[in-house]
Amino acid sequence: MAAKGGELKLLGVWDSPYVNRVQIMLNLKGISYEYIEEDLLNKSKLLLNSNPVHKKVPVLIHDGKPIAESQVIVQYLDEVFSGTGPSVLPADPYKRATARFWAAFVDDKVGSPWHTILFAREAEKKADAAARIITALGTLEGAFKDCSRGGDYFGGDGIGFVDVVLGSYLGWFKVFEKMVGVRVLDAARTPLLAAWGERFAAADAAKDVLPSDVDKVIEFLQTFLD
């Protein structure tokens, strides 16, 4: 389907949090697009040509022009389709910079340990990575209180940039619980974030995007580990 403002294609993998956040953003904006599922063990020429530097998903192709890296894509969509749907980045420069800071924090302090849990062979490394995520979520509990200003989301009353970035990991938190035996997002430790997570996962833009079948995710992951 063609999107308002040009044709959009999204190259992705169904359980990738980085792909999921782009899908959530497109849903928030109400933008139509063509989704193309990639086989990461046999990457398509379209993917390799569209992202020759990293050769990774997601890649958004807008009128034939590729944009790579999930946070970059989300911000691109917010700017290019500024008149369509809600904006996730605030107009105020300071608030916008703050949102970008916390989004970068999420991918550094949550995303990096996420990779370790997925691919480390040693149980100790997986457990240490889960502990690092728990520490990061403790910091984000305070950030949520400051950024939300009493609202339901980091963006206040509506879903914002940090919500999209952090929210894309929610399905994987349940996977970690089965893989490592640790609940990283726990209401006893971070009650504000736990409540936020339930709201975000149930939001129209996210509920049909985030992976919910834990066993299916683990089975899919196993294809890269064998």
Same domain, 124 and 28: no
Using the 3D structure, point to which of 79, 100, 118 is the last residue of a domain: 79
Q: Are residues 12 and 103 both part of a single domain? A: no
Q: Can you give the pLDDT at residue 5?
A: 63
Specify the CATH number for the domain of residue 39: 3.40.30.10
Q: Summarize pLDDT for 173-194 with one digit per residue, the tens.
A: 999 999 999 999 999 999 999 9
Do 72 and 125 belong to one domain? no
My answer on whether 116 and 212 are in the same domain is yes
Domain that holds residue 125: 91-221
pLDDT tens readout for residues 13-54: 999 999 999 999 999 999 999 999 999 999 999 999 999 999
Exposure string for 12-46, b = 16+ CB within 10 A, e = fewer: bbebbbbbbbbbbbbbbbebebeeeebeeeeeeee
Domain-terminating residue out of 56, 79, 102:
79
One domain for residues 121 and 196: yes
Q: Are residues 97 and 190 in the same domain?
A: yes
Of the residues 79, 101, 123, the one at which a domain ends:
79
Say whether both 212 and 138 belong to one domain: yes
Please state the pTM of the whole predicted model.
0.96
CATH number at residue 109: 1.20.1050.10
Please state the domain count of the chain. Answer: 2
Specify whether 124 is located in the same domain as 22. Answer: no
Regions of the chain with pLDDT less than 70: 1-5
Separation between Cα atoms, residue 58 and residue 21, nearest integer Å: 10
